Structures are given as C-alpha cells and as structure tokens.
Amino acid sequence: MSDLARLRDYIVEMTRLVTATGTDEMRLFREGRPLLADLVSGDDWLPPPFAAPSPQTYRQYLLWCDPLERFSVLSFVWGPGQKTAIHDHTVWGMVGVLRGRERCEDYERPEPGRAMRKTGECFADPGEVTTVSPSVGDIHRVSNALADGTSISIHVYGANIGAVRRHSFDPGDGRATPFVSGYSSDVVPNLWDRSAEVRAGLR
Ligand code: FE
C-alpha cells in the first residue's frame, strides 16, 4: 500500500508556505524546492492509478488543489517517447522527478513570424527539482528521456493549473495557440483516511 502520509505532509507544508509567502516568489522557490525535493526523494507513496501511463499521450493527474486555488499538485506520467508541445504556464511552478528521467528544453519568448530560439536544455533525475515562471523562464518543452520506460514527475503550480488559460507555441513561427489543460482523472487520492494510525494509537 502506498504511504499517503508523505503527500499529506507535503501539502500541509505547502499550504503553510503559500500562506506565509503571498506573492514573494523568490522565497516560495527558496523554501518550496527542498519540500518538493523531499517529497520526490522517496518513491513509495504515489498510488498506482496516479502513476499509470497511457499509450496515446502523457497523463496529468491532479493529486491536490488548494481550496483557495493558490496551488495545485499533479503527477505527470510519461510513456516512452512522449513529450509536451512547447508551452507556457503563466504562474510559478516547480517540477520534481520521481521516477525515470526527464528532458527539459527552454525557449525564448517568441517573436511573431520568427523561428523560436532554444536557450537551454537539461536532464533531470529522481530527486531533482526545476522551476518555471514568467520571471525565471516560462516557456519550455518537457519529454521523457527514456526510450523504453515510464518517467513520472510531481508538479506544483501557483494556481489550479488545469483551469488556467495558457499557450502552446509553433517552433517554426512562434505562433501561439490558447489551451486549457484540464486533468486526466476525475478523482483525487483520499489523503484523509487516517483511521489506521488513530486506531493504532488507541491500542
Ligand atoms: Fe511545463
């Protein structure tokens, strides 16, 4: 059985952090990175339904959305060869790799009619955390770096990200297409059945 206490503890700490930081993104990244790094340092807690790949496309499962929509937590599950379009986020985000390996390609903000320029590329392994936002670089493409395996990353964003109006970009001419990502599942993990630990405490 997966140990959801780890995810629950992370969400408690993130709720405290976004309450304390407000719009101070530097502090949010500084203090939020180690929280996410700790969450993805162990791979024993993500329930299998939220780790399931699809042969068609990558999956984005909602694990938690703050009731005030100040942040959301998702598992992204990449099958072999799967990748996103070049896209933006419009809000802060942190990505921690849980399983496998991811490739991230950063792009400059497009100039209309010009081919988009790649500004960097990195690979992230389990336990590593990367950041995105309009202030630190918001446009990228993410792909599974494994040709023959599943990769999973845990993403936290400064909004109910599945309902945010965003853009994908054509690398050839920078043309922006609006999109709203939604989520791959209608259910979220039940973080709140703490009956076993309570019963254990009664004995
Ligand atoms: Fe992204």
Confidence (pLDDT) at 182: 98
Would you say residue 14 has pLDDT above 50?
yes
Buried b (16+ CB within 10 A) or exposed e, 135-163: eebbbbbbbbbbeeebbbbbbbbbbbbbe
- Expressed in angstroms and rounded, the spacing between residue 197 Cα and the centre of ligand 1 is 37
pTM check: above 0.85 = yes
Q: Residue holding tokens 């503890």?
A: 9
- Expressed in angstroms and rounded, the spacing between residue 157 Cα and the centre of ligand 1 is 10
Report the interhelical angle of 25-39 vs 5-21 (nearest 10°): 170
Return the biggest CA–CA distance within the chain. Answer: 69
- Expressed in angstroms and rounded, the spacing between residue 42 Cα and the centre of ligand 1 is 23
Dihedral sign computed on CA atoms, order 48, 54, 59, 65:
negative
Query: What value does the mean pLDDT of the chain take?
Result: 96
- Expressed in angstroms and rounded, the spacing between residue 88 Cα and the centre of ligand 1 is 6
Q: How crowded is residue 71: how many other Cβ atoms within 10 Å of its Cβ?
A: 25
- Expressed in angstroms and rounded, the spacing between residue 198 Cα and the centre of ligand 1 is 39
Question: Minimum mean pLDDT among 1-5, 118-122, 154-158: which range?
Answer: 1-5
- Expressed in angstroms and rounded, the spacing between residue 193 Cα and the centre of ligand 1 is 32
> What's the CATH superfamily of 4-186?
Jelly Rolls (2.60.120.10)
- Expressed in angstroms and rounded, the spacing between residue 19 Cα and the centre of ligand 1 is 24
- Expressed in angstroms and rounded, the spacing between residue 9 Cα and the centre of ligand 1 is 24
Would you say residue 202 has pLDDT above 90?
no
pLDDT band at 1 (very low <50, low <70, confident <90, very high): very low
Q: Which two tokens stand for residue 154?
A: 């845990």
Q: What percent of the chain lies above the pLDDT cut of 70?
A: 99
Rounded to 5 degrees, what are φ and ψ at 8?
-60, -45
| Terminal-to-terminal C-alpha distance of the chain | 22
**Euclidean distance between CA atoms 135 and 90, whole angstroms:** 10
- Expressed in angstroms and rounded, the spacing between residue 142 Cα and the centre of ligand 1 is 6
- Expressed in angstroms and rounded, the spacing between residue 141 Cα and the centre of ligand 1 is 7
pLDDT band at 201 (very low <50, low <70, confident <90, very high): confident
Confidence (pLDDT) at 112: 86
Confidence (pLDDT) at 203: 65
- Expressed in angstroms and rounded, the spacing between residue 106 Cα and the centre of ligand 1 is 10
- Expressed in angstroms and rounded, the spacing between residue 12 Cα and the centre of ligand 1 is 24
User: Pick from 11, 80, 75, 79: which is nearest to 47 by CA?
Assistant: 75
